[in-house]
Structure 1
Amino acid sequence: MSELPLVLLHAFPVDARMWQPVRAPLSAAGRLITPDQRGLGRTALPETDRAPSLEDAARDVVALLDKLELDRVVLGGCSMGGYVTMAVLRLAPERVGGLVLIDTKAAADTPEAAENRERVAARAEAEGISWLAESMLPNLLAERTRTERPDVVETVRDLIGSQPPAGVAWAARAMAARPDSFDVLASADVPALVVVGEEDGLTPPDAARAMADALPKGELVVLPGAGHLTPLEVPDALAEAIVGWWR
């Protein structure tokens, strides 16, 4: 069993149920913790006048570690979960004993990407999110997954469709405001695993390689046949990569 617990943070715009396909093998290797992030899944969006910021999402993670009385953990996440992981690393590096960065990137949004996130947020607030899954699925899943694995497509559609519009809007704006995080990766002198789907168009292998290169102890694993949501597309391969490294 691994000494340090593994905390995994989910992607946008889904919740911790995305880890279901990898839960059994990871739990067999050590203690696994998969919270819903603020405003998504079963975690409420706190009432606040503050502008959406992943620093607040990072504070939520630190508060969870305090509540569970965990001094240090292996912290990781997929996509937005990776961004929050880097925000925790900036806020409380002493709590992070290892990193697992899955289908994510360290660069900040371009102005165009930030504008697109604001459009998503505004539309979610105005119309709800019945349109969101269809607009995002082409970017989230590899083409082969979309054409040959209707079960995975349906799972992702259901996960997206069950999220609260206010939480979707908050998360989109928080991601748009996030800083570049290459500086915190460069100073993170802990074991780090970077995993990416070979066909990930949102955070491609080049972005993963840049993170692995920036990390003093970074290892890169590229998973064939997968897009942006490797835990749902190639769970066995992802679990094998994490377990082998975690042990």
Structure 2
Amino acid sequence: MARMTELPLVLLHAFPLDSRMWNAVREPLASRVRVITPDQRGLGRSPLPESDREPSLEDAARDVVALLDRLELDRVVLGGCSMGGYLAMAVLRLAPERVGGLVLIDTKAAPDTPEAAQSRLDVAARAEREGTGSWLAEANLPNLLAEATRTRRPELVETVREIIESQPAAGVSWTALALRNRPDSLDLLRRTAVPALVIVGEEDAITPVAAASAMAEVMAGSTLVVLPGAGHLTPLEDPAGVVEAILSWYPATHEK
């Protein structure tokens, strides 16, 4: 049996999904590493705390640090897909001493454009007004999945649709507002010295290969993996490719 690595792997999910997006990769990864896949605040099974504060990824990052405290984990390899990557970078900014490695999947370091920020405001307002219903999935599916996935794998499309439609409207609204205010993180990544893996789907329309390359280029010694035929949700579209990339990269220095 393979050795278990010393540092656990925490994987943070995309928006507007929850930790179920890791179902296909969790078990094969767990043969080598301890895998932790929390739901972020307001999504999945995680409650949305009552607060008068403006939504911010910094608060979501505090949630992650609090989880590490509860699990008595001093340092972890921190990974995330899309929004999960933004959140991983927020944790790195807040508590760099807790991050022993980075796995950035279908994400980017750049902040929202003005157009994207306005779109998030619109999503938040509509979720508060109408709930999530079917519109949120319909609006996101074309960009979340590669065209070949959408046309040839209807069961996967339905899985993603069901996850999106099950999200609480309040959590969707809070998260959309938090995402629009995130800072540029390229300099943050440039300063980090931890091992880093960047994974991106070749057909990712939201955070394309160029955005992944930009992150990999500023992190010394990082590894970039491009998965052919996959879109923005590589852990769902090509779970075997994601597992292979992570386990092939997982730093040897993390092993007991």
TM-score by length of 1: 0.99
State the match for 2:71 in structure 1: 68
Instruction: Say which of 45, 48, 57 aligns to 1:42.
Output: 45
Once the two structures are superposed, the pairs formed by residues 16-35 of structure 1 within 5 Å of their partners are: 16-35=19-38
Partner of 2:11: 8
Q: Distance in 2 between matches of 1:193 and 1:2?
A: 16
Identity of aligned residues (%): 72
Q: Deviations over 1:77-102 (max 9, x none)?
A: 00000000000000000000000000
Contact 1:190 1:217 (8 Å CA) reproduced: no
1:150 lines up with 2:154 in the alignment: yes
1:218 Cα deviation after fit: 1.4
Q: Secondary structure at the match of 1:29?
A: coil
Q: Which runs of 4+ in 1 moved over 4 A?
A: none
Aligned to 2:230: 226
Structure 2 match to 1:126: 129
Q: Aligned residue for 1:203?
A: 207
- Distance in 2, Cα, partners of 1:217 & 1:2: 20
**Structure 2: any 5+ residue segments left out of the alignment?**
none
Which of residues 185, 189, 194 in structure 2 aligns to 1:190?
A: 194
Q: Per-residue displacement from partner, 1:220-243 (whole Å, max 9, x unpaired)?
A: 000001000001000011111011
- TM-superposed deviation, 1:24: 1.1
Cα deviation code 1:11-34 (max 9, x no counterpart):
000000000000111100110000
Unpaired runs of 5+ residues, structure 1, are none
Partners of 1:219 and 1:236 in 2: CA distance: 17
Deviates more, 1:76-85 or 1:213-222: 213-222
Give the equivalent residue in structure 2 for 1:241: 245
Deviations 1:31-69 (A, max 9, x none): 000000000000000000000000000000000000100
Query: Distance in 2 between the 1:137 and 1:102 partners?
Result: 18
Q: Counterpart of 2:144?
A: 140
Q: Report the Cα offset of residue 139 of structure 1.
A: 0.3
The structural deviation recorded for 1:217 is 2.7
Distance 2:60 2:23 in 1: 22
Q: Deviations over 1:138-160 (max 9, x none)?
A: 00000000000011100000000
**Corresponding pairs, count:** 247
Q: CA deviation at 1:3?
A: 1.3
**What SS does the aligned partner of 1:222 have?**
strand
Q: Determine the C-alpha separation between the residues in 2 that align with 1:19 and 1:25.
A: 11
Q: How does 1:50-129 map to 2 (within 5 A)?
A: 50-129=53-132
Larger mean CA deviation between 237-246 and 74-83 belongs to 237-246
RMSD: 0.6
TM-score between both structures, scaled by the size of structure 2: 0.96
